[in-house]
Structure 1
Amino acid sequence: MPDHAVVVAARRTPIGTRSRGLAAHGVEQLAAPVLRAVVHDASAALGSEPDIADVVLGNCMGPGGNPARVAALAAGLGVDVPGETVDRQCGSGLAAVIDAARAIEAGDDRARLAGGVESASTAPRRTLDGVPYDRAPFTPEGWPDPDMPRAADALAAADGISRPRQDAHAARSHRRARAARAAGRFDAELVAVGAVTADDSLRASAPSFGRLPPLFPDSTLTAGTSTRISDGAGALLLVPQRARGGAPGLAIRSHAVVGCDPALPGIGAAPAVEAALASAGLGLEEVAALEIVEAFAAQSLAVLDRLGLAEDGPRVCADGGALALGHPWGASGAVAMVRLFSRLIRGYAPAGSVGVAAASIGGGMGIAAVVEVVR
């Protein structure tokens, strides 16, 4: 019987809009303080410093050179701690956590640090035959490969998601995030980076959303219903369930990665959630908390509609999501897991409570993980 991996510590940086507060910090400068904080928290929870087998970090647009290993060295973890960098685009941070969990499920009894990091502000500019481009193709020639705003707009049209509904969804995300910040629900998960101690991206009050112009002609998307490109990092420490002692944590019950139509990549989280829950033998009605990366309001609503989840219910992104906080691509899946840890472990949810983290991925994929509170 495989041993579940258990998350016993989870932290993140503040999320900074590109070219703002975190703009001077490269990927290792964002990830290193979070890794140190997670090791400190885990040592306190476990009663001793964990033996770390690997550092696995998601990253999409960074400098290369294996940022996970560079961050591990910058964090002072020692030259004997290796690193692995994962690129599954917007699902990279969650994919890194799943990869770490798989190693533990396979029988390795050592701890692993996993998460994601993105510095959009310092990402190198790429060229192809001397021509600058923002990203590599997500599909081969002859396949649809839409820019993400165009893909989200197409999904809104396909699913009949109106502009007012998108505005209301984005406003709700901001309203919830502002309330969470005011109540101090982010405080315990945040690690300061230099002088930056708080997320910088919360927008103005809800009435402004309806006045924003569309991103392009005939679009229902606006800057307000699209997440901001951001900088940030999140990390977690995983141990085998038998090694956690009395430390509370999130046992990773199941996980799934799926493919979907690359013309409508934003829907990928929905089948991924369904597959992960089926693997765990659970239904959506048994899930207490969900963190689904909100790349666009239209995309988020399409996923919720496909899953049959109420868009204004308290289970989904209860403290706001990426529409309010920002979307540091390679880190966002890990940030979703950090948020689940805060909601369920720091929030004192009872043992047995179930959570889900999920993201849709450019190129037509989805990723999800199911966790259960253990105490």
Structure 2
Amino acid sequence: MKQAYLYDGLRTPFGRYGGTLSSVRPDDLVAGLAQTLLARAGLDGSQIDDLILGCANQSGEDSRNVARHVVLAAGLPVSVAGQTVNRLCGSGLAAVIDAARAIKLNEGNLLLAGGVESMSRAPFVMAKATQAFGRDAQMFDSTIGSRFPNPAIVARFGDPTMAQTADNLAQDFAISRDQSDHFAATSQAKYNAALKADFFADEISAVTISAKSVHKNNEQVSQDEHPRPDSNLASLARLKALNTNGVVTAGNASGINDGAALLLLGDEQSALSLQRAPLARILLAAVVGVLPRVMGIGPALAIPKALERAGLALSQMDVIEINEAFAPQVLACLKQLNLAAHDERINPNGGAIALGHPLGASGARLVLTAARQLQRISGRYAVVSLCIGVGQGIALVIERV
């Protein structure tokens, strides 16, 4: 079987909800990354066998299959195919896994894979009336959470918000508000240290924002908007909990964000045509299902499953990325995995609490960041994981080469 490798990758800055990137369509966010990646690799696009993107919404300008629209918007040859996958928060990682699988099965040599989400531009969706002139049509904000829930599923599993699922884990694993706030402050501090060390400079591709007036210049956005470097335990403690008797706050949860990430994957022979060595080898992955009420525990089950398939142990990992949907959610996973919260391998450059979490993009961002961190520390193995709404987990093991 062929091997799959990560050769290059880029991401946009991650914008705040309603922030600078809110004026940019999701397909345009990725199209710019595709053009830059191909230019850096000296490719005209015809060598790309497929473009696979993760996207959790798809009800707005993502237009059902945002990947195909990116192919056209980026000016790639019309012969290049495009596929969109949806595993909610794990969509970007699922896209990378699918692309690597295609390469391993000899169904492609060079693929682009990643994810995108413009949560600012997520539309309201409204059901059709049940009868002529009916006034009972339901409407939902598609930014986050479920819409048009199935009554039978709700009766059996409930319909908790994402914050409620994290509070459920806090209760089940005896995780306090102080522990959650401390983890959040640490995430912000790690991100700030990485930013000062210019760690993110090589993975971020600036986005051009068109001026709204002919009298103004276009704006170049090259910095993440969500981080709050001044966050500390005192400021976090002042925030109100989202749920009664809960520990989740706006400060120890990930953000609602806009952004995209895109990776260039290829086989062994691609190193010759690209005239560059790969960053990492894509090893093996796993997905699991868990109860929706504790959806955030998914990584704690997916990680061991992926490691077992790869014939590796958690102790061999030099980098461990667990997407920070919520601080108590990550802390619960760490308890389940028998890892200390202060383990230096865990989210060493901060996580989604600081950067933000544009749903479909986060998984691809984590793969790129983990691969670059392995290069930075001369480590060998990393595992990347995310929890997934409605009760799933996903994980991928990579190896520096």
Answer whether TM exceeds 0.5 for this pair: yes
- Residue 146 of structure 1: CA displacement? 1.3
1:229 deviation in Å?
0.5
* Mapped contact 1:241–1:251 kept (Cα < 8 A): no
Deviation string, structure 1 residues 281-319 (Cα, Å, up to 9, x no partner): 000110011221100001111111111222112111111
Q: Which residue of 1 aligns with 2:35?
A: 36
Shift of 1:3: 1.4
Greater shift after overlay, 33-42 or 160-169?
33-42
Residue aligning to 1:121: 120
8 Å Cα contact 1:42/1:49 also seen in 2: no
1:13-52 aligned within 5 A:
13-43=12-42, 51-52=47-48
> Partners in 1 of 2:256 and 2:205 — Cα distance?
20
Q: CA deviation at 1:79?
A: 1.1
- With 321-330 and 122-131 compared, the bigger mean Cα shift is at 122-131
Paired amino acid for 1:133: F
- 232-241 vs 245-254, which moves further: 245-254
Greater C-alpha radius of gyration? 2
Distance 1:354 1:83 in 2: 30
State the distance in 2 between where 1:242 and 1:357 align: 26
For 1:199, give the aligned amino acid.
D
The structure 2 residue matched to 1:317, chosen from 347, 350, 364, is: 347
Q: Which residue of 2 aligns with 1:196?
A: 221
Which shifted more, 11-20 or 216-225?
A: 216-225
The separation in 1 between residues aligned to 2:176 and 2:64, in whole angstroms, is 43
Q: CA deviation at 1:108?
A: 2.4
- Once residues 321 and 82 of structure 2 are traced to their aligned partners in structure 1, the CA distance between those partners, rounded to angstroms, is 26
**Structure-1 residue corresponding to 2:231:** 205
Instruction: Work out the CA distance in 1 between the residues paired with 2:41 and 2:320.
Output: 24
Fraction of identical pairs, as percent: 41
Partner residue in 1 for 2:387:
360
d(CA) in 2 for partners of 1:181, 1:146:
35
Aligned length: 367
Deviates more, 1:284-293 or 1:129-138: 129-138
Is the Cα contact below 8 Å between 2:46 and 2:76 reproduced in 1? no
- Match status 1:236 vs 2:263: yes
1:1-375 map, 5 Å: 2-43=1-42, 51-62=47-58, 63=60, 64-129=63-128, 130-134=137-141, 135-136=146-147, 140-144=153-157, 145-194=159-208, 195-203=220-228, 204-206=230-232, 207-245=234-272, 247-345=277-375, 347=376, 349=378, 353-374=380-401
Q: In structure 2, how many angstroms separate the alpha carbons of the residues matched to 1:242 and 1:118?
A: 32
Q: Are the counterparts in 1 of residues 371 and 382 from structure 2 also a CA contact under 8 Å?
A: no
Could you say what the CA RMSD is over the residues aligned between the two structures, in angstroms?
1.7
SS in 1 for 2:399: strand
Paired with 1:323 and 1:277, the residues of 2 have a C-alpha distance of 26
Q: Distance in 1 between matches of 2:246 and 2:154?
A: 26
Question: Does the 8 Å contact 1:8/1:42 carry over to 2?
Answer: no
TM-score relative to the length of structure 2: 0.88
- Aligned residue identity for 1:54: D
Mark the runs of 5 or more structure 1 residues left unpaired by the alignment: none
- TM-score normalised by the chain length of structure 1: 0.94
